[in-house]
Amino acid sequence: MSSRALVLLISFVILIAAIIFVNQTVNWYSSLNNQYAEAVSKEPFGDWREFQSEASHFSVKLPAMAQNATEEVVDKKNKTKRFYDLYIAEKENGSLFMVTRTTFADPKVLNPASKIMQEMIREIALSKQDSKIRSLDEYDYKGNEGFKFVIDRTDGIYRGIMFHHGPSLYLLSYIDPKKSDDEEDYNYFLNSFLLSN
């Protein structure tokens, strides 16, 4: 075999070895990336994302993109306007996470706020047939006067807190269609909520 042929053969062997090495390295990195992605997806609440509402002055972590709806209502009793700003997100298992800000055109209506909050929670219970308030307790939410409640409904367990802040009432609520007493998602949702004003 000539020296030129030998050089070509050695070069070819080196090239094949280099290709094999590169392929193994790529496969190794790919495997590491897949393992990392799996680890992140298995991390509790790793796929939840922070949502911010500049209009309603809060941020919260949700399991999916939030949908928004707004409405202006005139209260039949005192003829004053209420402005509702609702954000809702649904998890793959059907659980619903909601943040509602109710702002009153006349803040005097909120005196006392505790009475209005209890009335609104009872209205939530009455809005669904065969619903029953399981518990309704006074609750201090980060220095804001409020209530914590659980409502048993035909479509699931409705858990929530409502509190008074400035001219508004905030309602953080969760509907569990499976009617389980697992509050892990609900507590994570509540603890992630932050007011920005």
pLDDT at 92: 87
Alpha-carbon distance of 85 to 83, in angstroms, equals: 7
pLDDT along the chain (197 residues), means of 10: 50 48 48 51 73 88 92 82 92 91 86 89 88 93 92 90 92 88 87 89
Q: Which CATH superfamily is domain 49-195 in?
A: Mog1/PsbP, alpha/beta/alpha sandwich (3.40.1000.10)
14-18, Cβ contacts within 8 angstroms, sequence gap of 24 or more: none
pTM of structure: 0.75
Say which residues have a Cβ less than 8 Å from residue 132's Cβ, sequence separation at least 6.
Answer: 125, 151, 152
Q: How many CB atoms are located within 10 Å of the residue 174 CB?
A: 21
